[in-house]
A and B are shown apart, each in its own frame.
Chain A
């Protein structure tokens, strides 16, 4: 979809692939690809701002990660993990279910139940594997069995 040296870190490209549009993000040396569609309200997810994780142990304390790891939908701001598409702020998260182990597609950290104390929401944005081939950034949208660690290709 692009030449590596024309795709600096911090940038994104939104490309048309068949029927859908896909956002490809470069964060540091990592690439991520996500369907440009927010499963919450149908917003153009990949036009949103990317965000680092933020945590706080007490009112007035703000600990911002250095690396951006989430994309916030440009409409409601619901945030999705760039690597896995997992939402951590969706509705309908019955507390009892947070600790259930379910079998679903995605990476182990997605299923493990939360991040910074947050529970995963029901929504998962669609992600795609990205890798670098001969100085080109390649997004693989072929149908695939999604394996653990498939998303978020390392340079």
Chain B
């Protein structure tokens, strides 16, 4: 589920004086739509919430045991690497100071600067040990894929602190959605997260060997769909058989590496309309073992989530709505 500061002013007390002047003098603000990712009148759009709102809108009525807060407000940061480090630190302090203490059911993802792996490692060392922090949240839109060598120490630091690395939809608006550039339609922009970009990240993480270097690394794909995964892995396994000598550290089939190291959340659940086909789609990869329930509150992605839950067996539903995430995040 999501939370976000209503404005940068909410973070002032967590920013150093220099950055308060930088924000004021530069007219720097938190873009309310996160660079067009969450247009407020679109159903997938964001509404910042308070702990009280969350309780009445979601935690109580849904009877949730545990909820993980994801604040993506820093994803659309400008390109000043020092400001990004200050902003992400401020958001982490805000989460730890103003959200986690107010409800026992809450856990949170920390954010890190994306332009400077050293600064990201330092931030993980600073706040990653907090018992309420369970995940390092990264945008799927990046300058360089997360599996790239230059990101390995960031990913290793997360694993060392027992944190899951969560790749979440969107990022800087300047990282155009498609290989051929920006899109006119929001639909295309939105679907690029699941249909292209996150798939490139999965391919990168597996191919570039970070799971060989950091065997304890666990990754979660957030708000990026999941129904695309089986066919991607068929393609990936097939190619690996012919060209494995390029990447000999990848010493097993890519699909096996994904199964060991990656989980996916249920929103958006892009699935067929026919319930029988939904079941078939899930069986192509035993998705009941890989999915973790996400409300994505307050975003709405249509009724695919209902179609998913209706197609799960009782045992799968128990895994998907609880145990898979409890095991992945060590919540139990």
Contacts and interface: CB of A to CB of B under 8 A. Distances in A.
Taking the complex as a whole, does A directly touch B, i.e. does some CB pair lie under 8 Å apart?
Answer: yes
Interface of A: 51, 54-62, 76-78, 89-91, 93, 95, 116-119
Contacts of A77: 242-243
A59 B213 contact: yes
Contacts of A58: 209, 212-213, 249
A38 to B, nearest CB: 12
A60 B210 CA distance: 11
A11 to B, nearest CB: 23
B238 interface: yes
A97 to B, nearest CB: 13
Contacts of B149: 59-60
A60 to B, nearest CB: 7
A62 B250 CA distance: 12
Contacts of B245: 51, 54
B249 A61 contact: yes
Contact of B237 (A57, A76, A91, A95): A91
Interface of B: 149, 152, 208-210, 212-213, 237-238, 241-245, 247-249, 251-253, 256
Given A54-B248, A116-B251, A117-B251, A59 B210 contact: yes
A116 B152 CA distance: 24
A57 B242 contact: no
A56 B249 contact: yes
Contact of B249 (A57, A78, A89): A57
Given A58-B212, A61-B249, A76-B241, 17 more contacts: A51-B245, A54-B245, A56-B212, A56-B249, A58-B209, A58-B213, A59-B208, A59-B212, A59-B249, A60-B149, A60-B209, A76-B242, A77-B243, A89-B244, A91-B241, A117-B251, A117-B252
Among A59, A61, A76, A77: residue with most chain B CB under 10 A: A59
Contacts of A54: 245, 248
A91 to B, nearest CB: 7
Contacts of A61: 249
A91 B256 CA distance: 13
A76 B149 CA distance: 28
Contacts of B252: 117-119
Contacts of B242: 76-78
